Amino acid sequence: MDVLIGGILGLAIGALCRWLDIPSPAPPTPIGALLVVAMTAGFVIAGNFT
């Protein structure tokens, strides 16, 4: 449930940033975006062990 809420919130923030024409709080390069995905995946996987 937390992952679903996080995904919806992330999409909403991205859409709002695009709609209001403000800089997105995400890295502008593919490597930076992969880093964010890797950190999120690590957080979710580590949450399964606790």
Specify the pLDDT at position 44: 79
- pLDDT class for 50, splitting at 50, 70, 90? low
d(CA 27, CA 41): 17
Specify the pLDDT at position 12: 82
d(CA 4, CA 27): 22
Specify the pLDDT at position 19: 81
Residue 19, both tokens: 């709609």
Taking only the tens place, the pLDDT of each residue in 5-34 is 777 777 787 777 778 888 766 677 888 778
